[in-house]
């Protein structure tokens, strides 16, 4: 089976490519730059030049494959609406190519603000609708293609997909602590962040490719919710910095762009996903990775 993967050289995508290749799949990886193409080829996949704005390249990659895993996204927080419109157009280009084929289309999504303050489950419907919604409303837009002969599946990832080499949210929190000389948390720090190890997430993506039914949602969530105060305390201990509460109204100034996320309470369950796909996370937890020192070198 040949799988077209967008974001193939990225943090999650490169792990997914490795997981697919190790299990006998052929991989066609979207590559925007020469460096990305070289990384894809070095992993053992075939590079397919293009990007999210090149809709013809997306259509060609989808047409040449037996399934698509769409992981790429423009993480431009200065123009998040524009990034969402690009995302929607990309999903539409791929999905229209697959109409009537019953081929799988797995689309990455997030969990932030879907059910703040309570545990999000797979059956919760995303409120994001329309091209100007977060991520262009791509989750529900993609799932609608299940009625048009596409085995579309939403992949909801934890906000923290961690492991050695992580340059995402947690590494940003560590960088803020270094800069400010203080490891902070928002309010009382009881708000919870879900997490998943990158390797466990990659295995889940493969299982979803193989087993998830059309129109379904799967949760790449290993840990339902870690109190952000716990994260801050470990960061402070490793950096030998004081740990303190940051008032919610001061969080944007202290943390920068990530302050709006770090103060959210967004626990999420993966119970349905685990039962449906037979997925059991086995790799280190976020707190174990923090204690291992990856983020402080």
Q: Are 13 and 125 part of one and the same domain? A: yes
Pairing of strands 192-197, 223-227: antiparallel
* pTM given for the model: 0.95
Q: Residue 154 half-sphere exposure, CB side, CA atoms within 13 Å?
A: 25
- Chain Cα centroid distance, residue 287: 19
Domain count, the chain: 2
pLDDT at site 77: 65
Q: Give the pair of three-digit tokens for residue 92.
A: 């539409």
Rounded Cα distance between 8 and 201, Å, is 14
* Residue 278 lies inside a defined structural domain of this protein: no
Q: Give the pair of three-digit tokens for residue 223.
A: 């840990």
pLDDT at site 230: 97
pLDDT at site 133: 83
- Spans of the chain below 50 pLDDT: none
Q: Are 169 and 97 part of one and the same domain? A: no
Q: Are 200 and 257 part of one and the same domain? A: no
Rounded Cα distance between 43 and 41, Å, is 5
Rounded Cα distance between 205 and 160, Å, is 16
Rounded Cα distance between 279 and 56, Å, is 35
Give pLDDT tens digits for 44-83.
Answer: 999 999 999 999 999 999 999 999 999 999 876 677 788 8
The DSSP secondary-structure symbol of 17 reads: H
Q: What CATH number should be reported for the domain holding residue 183?
A: 3.90.25
The helix-helix angle for 34-43 and 11-22 (nearest 10°) equals 30
* Residue 273 lies inside a defined structural domain of this protein: no
Q: Are 186 and 115 part of one and the same domain? A: no
pLDDT at site 253: 95
Q: Whole domain around residue 149: which residue ranges?
A: 2-160+196-222
What does 183-222 look like in DSSP terms, one character per residue?
A: EEEETTS--EEEEEEHHHHHHHHHHHHHHPPTTEEEEE-S
């Amino acid at each position: 089976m040949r799988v077209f993967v967008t974001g193939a050289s990225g943090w999650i995508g490169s792990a997914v490519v490795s997981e697919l290749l190790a299990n006998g799949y052929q991989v066609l990886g979207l590559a925007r730059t020469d460096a990305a193409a070289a990384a894809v080829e070095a992993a053992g996949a075939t590079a397919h030049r293009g990007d999210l704005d090149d809709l013809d390249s997306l259509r060609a990659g989808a047409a040449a494959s037996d399934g698509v895993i769409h992981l790429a996204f423009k993480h431009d927080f200065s123009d998040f609406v524009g990034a969402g419109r690009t995302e929607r157009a990309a999903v539409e280009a791929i999905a229209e190519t697959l109409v009537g084929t019953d081929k799988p289309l797995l689309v990455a999504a997030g969990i932030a603000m879907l059910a703040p303050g309570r545990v999000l489950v797979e059956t919760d419907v995303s409120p994001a609708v329309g091209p100007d919604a977060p991520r262009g409303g791509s989750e529900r837009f993609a799932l609608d293609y299940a009625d048009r002969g596409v085995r579309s599946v939403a992949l909801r990832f934890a906000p923290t997909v961690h492991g050695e080499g992580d340059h995402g949210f947690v590494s940003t929190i560590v960088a803020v602590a270094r800069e400010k000389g203080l490891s902070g948390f928002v309010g009382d720090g009881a708000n919870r962040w879900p997490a998943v190890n990158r390797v466990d997430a990659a295995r889940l993506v493969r299982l979803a490719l193989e087993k998830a039914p059309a129109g379904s949602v799967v949760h790449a969530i290993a840990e339902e919710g870690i109190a952000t105060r716990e994260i801050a305390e470990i960061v402070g201990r490793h950096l030998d910095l004081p740990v303190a509460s940051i008032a919610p109204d001061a969080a944007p100034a202290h943390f920068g762009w990530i302050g709006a996320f770090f103060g959210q309470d967004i626990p999420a369950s993966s119970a349905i996903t685990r039962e449906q796909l037979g997925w059991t996370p086995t790799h280190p937890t976020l707190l174990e990775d923090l204690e291992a020192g990856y983020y402080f070198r």
